[in-house]
């Protein structure tokens, strides 16, 4: 049974007040809150296991090395990767994407080659490809979107040519909540080209459980902090065939087999791509977060959050002047909206006075907002620890804010 009141007790921060009001946290798209199980895992590491991994023969080092590699195995199982060495620990989705851009660009992008992304991408899945295309004199193309915030997928076959080397796209839009048909897109790419496929899963992993082998993507990137885990840790899944060909992204301690004054021989994946001391606590903390959500059940989470989304959408549509951006048929629990001529920042500032945390701005998707010809939006993003009662508080506070700002 899904018991939201029981779940809320696992998140200490939900007990606090903001401006004398109970905290209503609707900024989960920016970062999610952490359950006690994750917090306790971090504390246990620093109090009982703090040591470096892979290099020591003493007890603490051996213990945390085993725990860290067990965390890698947990992540491998969660996304159904074939091998644990296909799981690379990074700082987050941004670094994961930049790693692929650097390594892939080194071996597989030449002048005139093409990369395809979409009009709804987060800047982290736009800027690295822009820079790579500028450096290599390659061509960057975009899959357009419609007014509902869905990809116009019939345009994809027209964009793919013999020079297409990579197609990169988001699993779930961080602004619109659109859930893209990633398996269908990947299948289309495979049928028309030899291009690699990268998926930005940052916004997806809190809501759904990706199966990278079923999707058949080459790369899948996500961050720990959006999956109820620590900040500063993320994952790049990459097929073994690519990792065997990629040069190191960074070099130094931990990446090598042998070093002489003349030459360095690099270790195999994943060590080849994990230079220096990693965020060890973050790695084991992320595994604890994955265990936590799997214990609740990702299907249960998705169903509950969909109920929140439908309820909040209905309530917002009842308010005069509210315009919701993104009405895809398949959508996660994210709502971006504006109110008449009121600036999103003004809405966000007043909602905070009522203890309600939302996000206002362009959400690192400026090209998407340019498509709608707006400077920004108010974004409410829900997690499985949010409630219908909190949505009611949000709606009442929004109505009061509109009255004050009109």
* Catalytic residue IDs: 364
DSSP 299-353: HHHHHHHHHHHHHHHHHHHTSTTEEEE---SSB-SEEEEEETTB-HHHHHHHHHH
* H/E element, 377: strand 377-381
Give the separation between CA 375 and CA 379, rounded to whole angstroms: 13
Q: Are 64 and 45 in contact (CB under 8 A)?
A: yes
Query: Would you call 152 helix, strand, or coil by DSSP?
Result: coil
Round to whole Å and give the CA distance between 125 and 357. 26
Largest CA distance in the chain: 72
Name the residue among 329, 326, 346, 328 with its Cα closest to residue 337.
326
Dump strand ranges (E) for 154-240. 164-170, 196-200, 219-223, 234-238
10 Å CB burial of residue 111 (0-12, 13-18, 19+) is exposed
- Check if the beta carbon of residue 87 is closer than 8 Å to that of residue 76: yes
């Amino acid at each position: 049974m899904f018991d939201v009141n029981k779940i809320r007790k696992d998140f200490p921060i939900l007990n606090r007040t903001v401006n004398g009001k109970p905290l209503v946290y609707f900024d989960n798209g920016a970062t999610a809150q952490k359950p006690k199980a994750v917090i306790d895992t971090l504390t246990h590491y620093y109090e009982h296991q703090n040591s470096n991994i892979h290099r020591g023969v003493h007890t603490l080092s051996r213990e945390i090395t085993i725990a860290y590699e067990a965390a890698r195995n947990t992540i491998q199982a969660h996304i159904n990767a074939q091998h644990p060495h296909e799981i690379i620990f990074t700082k987050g989705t941004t670094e994961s994407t930049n790693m692929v851009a650097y390594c892939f660009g080194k071996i597989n992008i030449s002048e005139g080659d093409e990369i395809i992304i979409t009009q709804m991408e987060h800047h982290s899945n736009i800027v690295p490809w822009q820079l790579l295309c500028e450096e290599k004199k390659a061509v960057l193309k975009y899959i357009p979107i419609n007014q509902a915030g869905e990809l116009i997928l019939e345009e994809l076959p027209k964009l793919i040519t013999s020079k297409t080397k990579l197609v990169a796209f988001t699993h779930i839009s961080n602004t619109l909540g659109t859930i893209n048909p990633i398996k269908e897109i990947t299948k289309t790419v495979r049928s028309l080209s030899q291009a690699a496929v990268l998926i930005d899963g940052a916004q997806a992993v809190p809501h759904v459980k990706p199966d990278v082998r079923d999707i058949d993507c080459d790369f899948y990137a996500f961050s720990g902090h959006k999956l109820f885990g620590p900040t500063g840790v993320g994952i790049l899944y990459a097929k073994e065939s690519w990792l065997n060909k990629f040069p190191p992204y960074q070099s130094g301690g931990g990446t090598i087999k042998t070093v002489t004054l003349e030459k360095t021989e690099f270790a195999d994946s994943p060590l080849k791509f994990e230079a220096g001391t990693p965020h060890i606590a973050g790695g084991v903390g992320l595994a604890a977060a994955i265990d936590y959500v799997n214990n609740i059940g990702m299907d249960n989470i998705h169903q509950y959050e969909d109920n929140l989304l439908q309820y909040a959408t209905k309530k917002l549509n009842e308010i005069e002047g509210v315009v919701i951006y993104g009405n895809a048929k398949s959508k996660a629990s994210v709502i971006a909206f504006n109110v008449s001529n009121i600036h999103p920042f003004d809405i966000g500032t007043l909602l905070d006075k009522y203890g309600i945390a939302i996000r206002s701005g362009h959400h690192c998707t400026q090209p998407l907002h340019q498509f709608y010809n707006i400077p920004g939006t108010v974004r409410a993003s829900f997690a499985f620890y949010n409630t219908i009662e909190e949505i009611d508080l949000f709606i009442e506070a929004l109505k009061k804010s509109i009255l004050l700002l009109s």
